[in-house]
Chain A
């Protein structure tokens, strides 16, 4: 039994050990620097352990975890994003001496552990455990904001309630699935015409996932929570948890066609998500809220690729996740660079007026990131959106493609609104221009900008680097990114 379950991708035990170590170190003596350092090295070690695992793989369905390319790739994205987020928080945490928060790295590592668990699990139990670990640690992270304690607590409460509701729906669905199949293997229960319970189970699980992904109409919590939480934590929510849950969604349904009874739901949700996210983003004056809505819209684009299984799908999802993560993290890193200079979050867009003239470097990089999110060359988002559109064309999803076009045009408007504000009247720099010395943020921004630009110009160099599959379009692209065992 024990040895049977002992197949573990190495990042999982590393992250667990790191958590323990952090707990012990905090219990012994509080030191923010040490906590940050331990958190940092845990994440780096986990990155290094990505290609290794403990124990030997079992036959399909017998073990709790699987170690394949898809899992490895999304885990890589998650770990890198977590590292970025840790770097973003570094200066912010050190800045405030009165409220030492050495639990912050602990919670961040724990949240990453939850995300990684979700990514690798092939069983309902570890998947649900991962979801809950992540949700619980996020609750603490959201509230870790001494300056805006009231708002942060409110956001945390909202997150608690809505995450609880969605987990309950998810768990109910898992229970129903178990009731019909008697197995906890992580895949939709086979539906039959005379038995509707498997279908109901799948739909409930899907709704739970949509809640976590914040697809419209299950999106209401995300903007409020992201606005209330510190910017790095908002980045965590927008990037890490979305990648994790999306990765699980792809693993759950595999590379096959989604069941027919889900088509109507998926169709409606995708259209609502793209249009809803983009339209609601139009009136925002807070950059983080705007990013929250734009991330909703991006989930919609990703779902188009998810809903169009074909030969281009794997590449499209791979690239889109990377593009979305890099651009969004870049924007949050820039927000962090500003907020440190002002001693507040400073995400009110009109305050950014004229930054092109006072902080040209940050303003230019921010514009590049926004253009990449909008899908305009030379950003990496352009090629990603191109690939997503290609999957839709391949499956002739005419209505979804029309939605994609309309959504992108609306999206362009609010991304340009931000850029336009940056270029506004020259002589009114409302944000105090304070040259903060934050080398780690500058490095982070430079690296992410390079990824966005170089990835946009040479996307081919990026795909094989991450997914080492030399498949050419002639012989059928990538057949099965999910259930392919990693031969490391």
Chain B
């Protein structure tokens, strides 16, 4: 019995239990109000156990993919509930879990209005994200892709900050609208396949062998690409991101930046690159151009922000530009760089959002001009902030550097001008990160912290785990790089290994 469906469905069920438990215990004592939080923690622990079993257990499934699960879902349409796991999925699943723990441990504990509903939505979004990383039935993928939007919309819209409604609606409209384009592409692919073979199926592996004319293939790929580009985000369609990240409650910000953006990158690898390899190669110049534009534009705007969360949000756009660049270089080096960058960005930006959220909880402002000089009063929080800010600017020794370096290396082989431009993004990254560090932590103290306290040892150790992982990713990335390459499309016989584009 494959643990994959349990991995996907467990958070949703656990969330429902948490909600019900919270509703039934209305005694109002603080310990009773924490019940949904406890259940969430238990669910995450169970998920970890499951994932450990999946990672280190014996794989009965033969072939390049690690695990496989499939039952028919809507047989009339040829839709099945089909999950497959390869190294890429596995590494992103680990990122999902590693990032959810600090989220729950540090951020969601503070929620006291409707905590049950909050945890339910949080876990529902996690179901969508894990499912997206595993689904290999195109309909199921789309279903889960859409499913993660609603909880996120409600999280932002109900628990967010001052301008939350506008941000939530913008987020939803952009992601949902682009999702519809992907739906049309999926349908186009399925029906073309149906015309050719008289088999109606949404199976990823079968559809990969559809013969497409070069025009049709480009149109279909663009449908997928736009949906992923909105999520990633790529520059012209990034407008939802700064507002959504800024207005979301801390836990949702971490989910958004750390995980949801990665679904975009994952989709580009899994669906653009592997379903339409030749077309992706033809499209690569445009995509790389967009990637560089994202790197420079995000970094430039990041330099001009006064709002901490907004600054981190724009820096995410810049970092995700590297992911896009790496994916479309067409070499394994670039792809490995993109994946390492995704993992490292998830860890570092997730942590930065947690710290920014903690600062906002304590000082009730995100304006860097008003924060100023926290080092003296909160040395632990400030040192953690410094650590992750330096990691995210791409200092050697951290995962971000590995990713960016690999991407630059791969880009240099393709186009040296693009690589040179990209380097400018790295300089800007240093500017905005250090500016943030300077103004928040090192500047002279401006506001006396009232009754707020520094991070406790426990909180620091949670962040410490993230730090260790980031450093590991920086100094010894080889295991992750080997593990996380996507498996080839054939399900049966082991092929020559992930050499899709060389």
Give residues in A with beta carbon < 8 Å to B. 315, 356-357, 371, 376-378, 382-383, 386-387, 389-390, 393-394, 401, 404-405, 408-409, 412-413, 416-417, 419-420, 423, 426, 458-460, 463-464, 471-474
A-chain residues with CB within 8 Å of residue B237 when the two chains form the complex: none
| Complex Cα gap A17–B210 (Å) | 59
Contact with A along B156-176 (1 / 0, CB 8 A): 011000000100110011001
A423 and B73 contact, CB distance less than 8 A: no
Pairs A–B under 8 Å by Cβ, sample size 8: A356-B158, A390-B190, A390-B191, A393-B187, A393-B191, A405-B181, A412-B177, A463-B76
Q: Which residue of A lies closest to B128 (CB)?
A: A377
**Interface of chain B residues 173 through 193 with chain A (CB within 8 A):** 173, 176-177, 180-181, 183-184, 187-188, 190-191
Q: Most chain-A CB neighbours within 10 Å: which of B73, B79, B153, B183?
A: B183
Contact of A472 among B73, B75, B180 (CB under 8 A): B75
B447 shortest CB reach to chain A, Å = 28
Given contacts A423-B158, A473-B194, contact A315 B180 (CB under 8 A): no
B343 shortest CB reach to chain A, Å = 28
B403 shortest CB reach to chain A, Å = 33
A-chain residues with CB within 8 Å of residue B76 when the two chains form the complex: 315, 460, 463-464, 471-473
Q: Which residue of A lies closest to B176 (CB)?
A: A412
Q: Most chain-B CB neighbours within 10 Å: which of A356, A419, A458, A464?
A: A419
Q: Which residue of A lies closest to B192 (CB)?
A: A393
**Interface of chain B residues 385 through 426 with chain A (CB within 8 A):** none
A376 and B181 contact, CB distance less than 8 A: no
B149 and A376 contact, CB distance less than 8 A: yes
Interface assignment of B251: CB less than 8 Å from any CB of chain A = no
B-chain residues with CB within 8 Å of residue A473 when the two chains form the complex: 76-78, 194, 199-200
Contact of B187 among A389, A458, A459, A464 (CB under 8 A): A389
Interface size class of B (residues with CB under 8 A): 35 or more
| Complex Cα gap A389–B187 (Å) | 8
Interface assignment of B281: CB less than 8 Å from any CB of chain A = no
B-chain residues with CB within 8 Å of residue A426 when the two chains form the complex: 113
Please give 4 more A-B residue pairs, beta carbons under 8 A apart, in addition to A382-B146, A404-B180.
A389-B184, A393-B188, A419-B157, A474-B200
A-chain residues with CB within 8 Å of residue B125 when the two chains form the complex: none
**Interface of chain B residues 236 through 292 with chain A (CB within 8 A):** none
Q: Is the interface of A mostly helix, strand, loop or mixed?
A: helix
Contact of B180 among A357, A371, A409 (CB under 8 A): A409
Interface assignment of B143: CB less than 8 Å from any CB of chain A = yes
Interface assignment of B154: CB less than 8 Å from any CB of chain A = yes
Q: Which residue of A lies closest to B148 (CB)?
A: A377
| Complex Cα gap A387–B165 (Å) | 31
| Complex Cα gap A420–B154 (Å) | 9
B-chain residues with CB within 8 Å of residue A383 when the two chains form the complex: 74
B198 and A474 contact, CB distance less than 8 A: yes
A-chain residues with CB within 8 Å of residue B431 when the two chains form the complex: none
A-chain residues with CB within 8 Å of residue B147 when the two chains form the complex: 377-378
B71 shortest CB reach to chain A, Å = 12
| Complex Cα gap A387–B190 (Å) | 12
Contact of A460 among B75, B149, B172 (CB under 8 A): B75
The 4 A-B residue pairs with the shortest CB-CB distance, nearest first, are: A473-B200, A460-B74, A393-B187, A409-B177
A173 shortest CB reach to chain B, Å = 35
B-chain residues with CB within 8 Å of residue A474 when the two chains form the complex: 198-200
Contact of B157 among A378, A387, A413, A423 (CB under 8 A): A423
Given contacts A389-B187, A390-B187, A473-B77, contact A420 B113 (CB under 8 A): no
A-chain residues with CB within 8 Å of residue B149 when the two chains form the complex: 376
B-chain residues with CB within 8 Å of residue A471 when the two chains form the complex: 76
B172 and A412 contact, CB distance less than 8 A: yes
A-chain residues with CB within 8 Å of residue B74 when the two chains form the complex: 383, 458-460
